[in-house]
């Protein structure tokens, strides 16, 4: 399904809403970055501080790292985005937060000793909205309203802020290992919420009735 947010476009990338009438275009790189920056602005202060610290180690953050979403953080994110875009023109690159983590590791490399980087993963709002649309449609049989989609996305973001996926990278003697803890399945969490609504329960009964009718050859 962003912090030292780890790949916000990461976790649930590829989840697209089923909209047969209006075909949506994929977001541009600029739109994707703005969505990522917006997600960082909404995560918990502790997560934002860790990201600022990584950007500082990478030499991109001006001044003392802060938990606030300020100009220094935004400019550092933008600088990292520019570096990522240049590298992407010649080779494959990791997600935004993984890339920042790698920059931080490279920035510490001159010290010669073991390095440790912590990356926290969240999903960007665009990905969560696409997932919410898909889940509501699948569970209730109808297109969700803007309010229903917004409410579901906010619930997931709130849970992510409290329980993000945290990956610790340890580099020693040129060898990097990683360990991931925390996090949850955003899609399943949405299903668990929507499946308990009256509309979802009614849709489940309707599907069961249709199956029964089909088994007996339908109405005559």
pLDDT of residue 124: 84
pLDDT of residue 25: 35
Residue 79 lies in a domain: yes
d(C-alpha 3, C-alpha 101), whole Å: 11
More confident residue, 2 or 133: 133
More confident residue, 148 or 120: 148
Task: Give the confidence band of 131 by pLDDT, cuts at 50, 70, 90.
Answer: very high
Residue 105 lies in a domain: yes
pLDDT of residue 75: 92
Residue 220 lies in a domain: no
Let me know if 168 is exposed, middle or buried by CB neighbors in 10 A (0-12, 13-18, 19+): middle
Residue 28 lies in a domain: yes
Average pLDDT of the chain is: 76
| Domains held by the chain: number | 1
Task: Give the confidence band of 210 by pLDDT, cuts at 50, 70, 90.
Answer: low
For the segment 206-211, the average pLDDT, to the nearest whole number, is: 58
Is the pLDDT assigned to residue 203 strictly greater than 90? no
Let me know if 194 is exposed, middle or buried by CB neighbors in 10 A (0-12, 13-18, 19+): buried
What strands, in cross-sheet order, belong to the sheet with 5-6?
5-6, 115-121, 165-172, 175-182
Task: Give the confidence band of 109 by pLDDT, cuts at 50, 70, 90.
Answer: very low
Q: Which domain holds residue 188?
A: 5-215
Is the pLDDT assigned to residue 17 strictly greater than 70? no
For the segment 175-195, the average pLDDT, to the nearest whole number, is: 87
Nearest in space to 139 (alpha carbons), one of 187, 207, 194, 205: 194
Q: What percentage of the chain carries pLDDT values higher than 70? A: 71
What would you measure as the largest C-alpha separation in the chain, in angstroms? Answer: 80
Is the pLDDT assigned to residue 30 strictly greater than 80? no
Residue 73 lies in a domain: yes
Residue 126 lies in a domain: yes
Task: Give the confidence band of 214 by pLDDT, cuts at 50, 70, 90.
Answer: low
d(C-alpha 218, C-alpha 139), whole Å: 24
Residue 30 lies in a domain: yes
Name the pTM for this structure: 0.45
Residue 172 lies in a domain: yes
């Amino acid at each position: 399904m962003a912090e030292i947010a780890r790949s916000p476009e990461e976790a649930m990338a590829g989840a697209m809403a089923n909209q047969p009438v209006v075909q949506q275009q994929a977001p541009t790189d600029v739109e994707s970055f703005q969505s990522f920056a917006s997600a960082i602005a909404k995560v918990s202060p502790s997560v934002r501080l860790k990201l600022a610290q990584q950007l500082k180690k990478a030499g991109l953050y001006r001044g003392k790292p802060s938990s606030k979403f300020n100009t220094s953080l935004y400019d550092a994110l933008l600088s990292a985005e520019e570096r990522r875009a240049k590298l992407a023109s010649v080779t494959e690159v990791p997600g935004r937060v993984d890339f920042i983590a790698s920059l931080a590791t490279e920035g510490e490399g001159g010290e010669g000793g073991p390095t440790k980087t912590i990356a926290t993963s969240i999903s960007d709002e665009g990905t969560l909205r696409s997932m919410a649309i898909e889940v509501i449609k699948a569970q209730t049989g109808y297109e969700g309203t803007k309010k229903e989609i917004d409410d579901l996305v906010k619930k997931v973001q709130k849970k992510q802020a409290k329980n993000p996926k945290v990956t610790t990278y340890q580099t020693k003697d040129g060898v990097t290992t990683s360990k991931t803890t925390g996090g949850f399945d955003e899609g399943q969490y949405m299903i668990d919420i929507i499946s308990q609504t009256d509309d979802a329960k009614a849709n489940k009964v309707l599907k069961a009735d249709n199956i029964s009718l089909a088994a007996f050859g339908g109405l005559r």
